[in-house]
Amino acid sequence: MTSISSETGQHTTLLITCGAIAREIVAILKQNSLDFMKVECLPAHLHNTPQQIPQAVRAKIQQSRDKFDRIIVLYADCGTGGKLDAVLEEEGVERIAGAHCYELFAGHDAFADIMDTEVGTFFLTDFLAQHFDRLVWKGLGLDKNPRLVRAYFGNYTRLLYLAQSDNPKIHRNAEQAAEKLGLRFEIRYTGYGCYKTFLSSI
């Protein structure tokens, strides 16, 4: 688990988030002078085993409850099938609304439109584009058995990169990921999406 502070000073609110979006969350805090918030992130690889997310979040809440006036979880459901919400209800902690980070970066209505247009869409964010080889290519064993690409991605038709930045290196990483998976490449600039709106309203 990693702790990342937006600024020095006293923190009264804890934000528990996934390591895959921690840098974006810290950037939002700095841009909006939300110095009273502290970010602590759980490992990004938990998304490969979403059933472990609820208890990992619970453990962090229980470790931190006496240290902060307020705790907010910046995980979406993230494939937990409602189990994260059950834990948060028991712990009395709120989370940002949404199914996953792709919906939150794109925006709820925009994401619904994306899926209505083309269901067979595989998504990348800045983080996933940067770490595609480790988290997806090697994580799924495609480096050892490339024939599994068809098994895993045969029903996908495009890779849609939801870009938080205009970094050309990250963009190229996303294009190369599409090439490896044999998918049509598209890009949509989202910035920080619902995360920025949510945090700005606190």
Number of structural domains found in the chain:
2
- Tell me: do 148 and 88 sit in the same domain: no
- Mark which of 44, 74, 96 sits at the end of a domain: 96
- Tell me: do 132 and 62 sit in the same domain: no
What's the pTM value of the predicted model, to 2 decimals?
0.90
pLDDT 10s digits, 155-188: 999 999 999 999 999 999 999 999 999 999 999 9
Q: What is the mean pLDDT of the chain?
A: 94
pLDDT 10s digits, 114-152: 999 999 999 999 999 999 999 999 989 999 999 999 999
Cβ atoms of 28 and 34 within 8 Å: the answer is: yes
- Does position 5 have pLDDT exceeding 50, yes or no? no
Q: What is the CATH number of the domain that holds 25?
A: 3.40.50
- Mark which of 96, 125, 157 sits at the end of a domain: 96
Which domain range does residue 7 map to? 2-96
> Reduced to 3 states, what is the DSSP secondary structure of residue 156?
coil
- Tell me: do 119 and 141 sit in the same domain: yes
